[in-house]
Structure 1
């Protein structure tokens, strides 16, 4: 039996509250303070704050607000996405483009690398890294240009490669990633605070690992290029085939004084949402924090699990909420704008076939799904019926990779604006008990 409109609105509101709780748990103001260095350990050395990512400006502000030493010790530079800057007094904030890098990012990366030249063993570098840093620090190796980096980034984004695979290629074309930034800081101490936006929380995949050793090789990068049939400019191919792009490896003496801490992760965000779901009377089940694959395929699988719960009470009973994170991929073949969360959600909704007791939300915790200033969307039991009544065909939109157009037409897009954090994708499937 269909649920009344008031109940539908309640479920949609709860889904949005779960999403907001996940985002709130990863705010830098919450995560940064426990990990700041003790001012007493700095001695006469300098504290240089650097960083990159969608959350890096908010992380820098949290450092300024909670630093217990003299403010005169603070200084540095971080790079964030356009629209994600926040006011800071002592740390300079620079904005640049994401996901395709631009000249502003190139200039900022050059300045950031220059900032850490000539440090001493008494100096302390606090590096603030979050998702998006790969595109925001597009400093190419000698012989490569920004145009090369942009072309490779566009090809990777359309290829269907995982984020780990994309970052492997990026690391081997960069003058700053793959541990090179930490090497430039030597012999200073380096503490990197990470907000993870990647499945598995591997530090080398967060902003392509500018301050951590990289066990992958140029040959690994070439294998990824071949796997996805990516066309490379001749200069880029030469860097990989010659081995000139080799990154810093574990055991490199220049990385002996680095420390890396994970301060916010997708799992932490899912647990925050689970706590709120429990308070609302829904038993939460976290299916995984690192789900990957083609977004439409993941959507079908999640729908199958939800239907089994709703119809069979297996493997768990309703009322419940199924939570998951990770980073799916979209291989764009149609004329749509992509967006992995909306594509996953549209595929899930089509498979659910308007089941009356299942609602769902999928969104990116940074507020940007793909290249759109839209976090994601909400799917209800009435979504398909409303779309058909408007002449919007779900299967056609899915075939065109046009999830954004589909949910915008219905007014069901989730728009958060810049969230100032980034712990990857968030999905919640709410399943009510049989009435």
Structure 2
């Protein structure tokens, strides 16, 4: 996926290189490329990462997520007619590719499309998958909403309601998924109970900071370490326990009393047939960009793939690291390329147009004003930044002064959460369009 306005943004070698590294990162995160990089045929066996798997029976492909269509298409191109069929749920309209059928689900809140398509997926595996078969499961962000079959007695509207309420009351993705797993037949490793086959190979694109398998798409093929007690505590803390429908509260109570089984845990025999492989993630992208930068003679440092916090404050911290390298050649010597990734937040107090990546860049540009030979960028790998049409922004030591020359006070725009307006006026916004994948945000800084 290319940056659409790359020529406009490439005013110096450092700018061009930063943008080239970002485009390289997007290519690594591309779900089609990621599958191609991890799956191949070798001597009649299927090689997945470092694992060689014998093909005894037939091969099926199932999956769900915003990137899963391109993942399944890559598998089809690699394995061809070895794949006898499959069902993959995406946000797009129904279609097919090879022997794989794509069906439509709902995102970000599961609805009737999700329920219909999820039942079709389970009907496919229970009717077609045999004991000696291999099932590929392609999983990516958005899978929690696109794939859902509630437990008996639970209405899908109840699942949608609890999801909305938890998000409104401040629950993070870990709390949200812990609760949803208790009311689902397929989340938290439960999908495996429907797969009566010899081998399950789950290919995963991670959109979760830290790449926790039990959290990505609610961990349909991974052990779940949360418990009914955790869920009870979350619901009480968020003030939702007494608002639950009786059917939902009863499931939690029966779980606490040990009257119904919990999600499968580590050590459960159900996982002996499973190979979970993360094929694209923020960490994978950062490491690949760092390797590319070294080819240009830069000393490199991957700071973290778990960047979190208020975007403008994180911008100041990253600026302080840039300043330390520029002044003291520490923690690495110049020429230096530093990388970070994760997902920051913005506490919106103003009425402007922006996003976390552009707000981070605006804050950073104020901190590095007048510094020479420094270029930095921050962008969302999905091509979307907040409520703006941009993916992020690229800045340097002159960005602050370029704004002043046009009568723009960067600090005022920062306070109004209006980073996109600022960067669009001085032509520093990065525009990609929707990329079809999401491995969180990436940050690049080059110090010559």
Q: TM-score, normalised by structure 1?
A: 0.82
Measured against aligned partners, the alpha-carbon deviations of 1:362-400 in whole angstroms (never above 9, x if no partner) come to: 122232335666432222333333445556554454445
- The within-5 A match list for 1:24-173 is 24-33=27-36, 34-35=38-39, 38=45, 41-43=54-56, 45-67=57-79, 70-71=81-82, 73-82=83-92, 88-118=97-127, 119-154=129-164, 162-173=172-183
Pair member with larger Rg:
2
C-alpha displacement of 1:179? 1.0
Matching residue within 327, 335, 347 for 2:343: 327
CA distance in 1, matches of 2:242, 2:411: 34
- The within-5 A match list for 1:275-354 is 275-332=291-348, 335=351, 339-353=355-369
C-alpha displacement of 1:247? 2.8
C-alpha displacement of 1:18? 0.8
Q: Report the 3-state secondary structure (helix = DSSP H, G, I; strand = E; otherwise coil) of the residue aligned with 2:229.
A: helix
What residue is the counterpart of 1:264 in the other structure?
A: 280
C-alpha displacement of 1:248? 2.8
C-alpha displacement of 1:60? 0.7
Measured against aligned partners, the alpha-carbon deviations of 1:187-208 in whole angstroms (never above 9, x if no partner) come to: 5531111222323322112211
RMSD over aligned CA atoms reads 3.6
Task: List gaps (5 residues or longer) in structure 1.
Answer: none
Preserved contact between residue 78 and residue 93 of structure 1 (Cα < 8 Å) = yes
Preserved contact between residue 173 and residue 245 of structure 1 (Cα < 8 Å) = no
C-alpha displacement of 1:286? 0.9
Preserved contact between residue 198 and residue 290 of structure 1 (Cα < 8 Å) = no
CA distance in 1, matches of 2:211, 2:175: 14
Query: Measured at CA, do residues 300 and 11 of structure 1 come closer, stay the same or move farther in structure 2, by a change above 3 Å?
Result: same
- Tell me if 1:192 matches 2:208: no
Stretch of structure 1 that moved more, 362-371 or 386-395: 386-395
C-alpha displacement of 1:157? 5.3
Measured against aligned partners, the alpha-carbon deviations of 1:45-103 in whole angstroms (never above 9, x if no partner) come to: 442211122221111111111116x35x43112223459x9972221223445444454
Query: Measured at CA, do residues 109 and 392 of structure 1 come closer, stay the same or move farther in structure 2, by a change above 3 Å?
Result: farther
- Tell me if 1:415 matches 2:431: yes
Matching residue within 224, 247, 252 for 2:263: 247
C-alpha displacement of 1:361? 1.1
Q: TM-score, normalised by structure 2?
A: 0.80
- The within-5 A match list for 1:7-18 is 8-18=11-21
What residue is the counterpart of 1:209 in the other structure?
A: 219
CA distance in 1, matches of 2:148, 2:231: 17
How many residue pairs match? The answer is: 424
CA distance in 2, matches of 1:237, 1:67: 43
Q: Report the 3-state secondary structure (helix = DSSP H, G, I; strand = E; otherwise coil) of the residue aligned with 2:218.
A: coil
C-alpha displacement of 1:177? 1.4
What residue is the counterpart of 1:20 in the other structure?
A: 23
Measured against aligned partners, the alpha-carbon deviations of 1:124-166 in whole angstroms (never above 9, x if no partner) come to: 2110112232232244444554544445545555666554444
Query: Measured at CA, do residues 221 and 322 of structure 1 come closer, stay the same or move farther in structure 2, by a change above 3 Å?
Result: farther
Query: Measured at CA, do residues 86 and 375 of structure 1 come closer, stay the same or move farther in structure 2, by a change above 3 Å?
Result: farther
Preserved contact between residue 186 and residue 255 of structure 1 (Cα < 8 Å) = no
C-alpha displacement of 1:249? 2.4
CA distance in 2, matches of 1:144, 1:174: 9
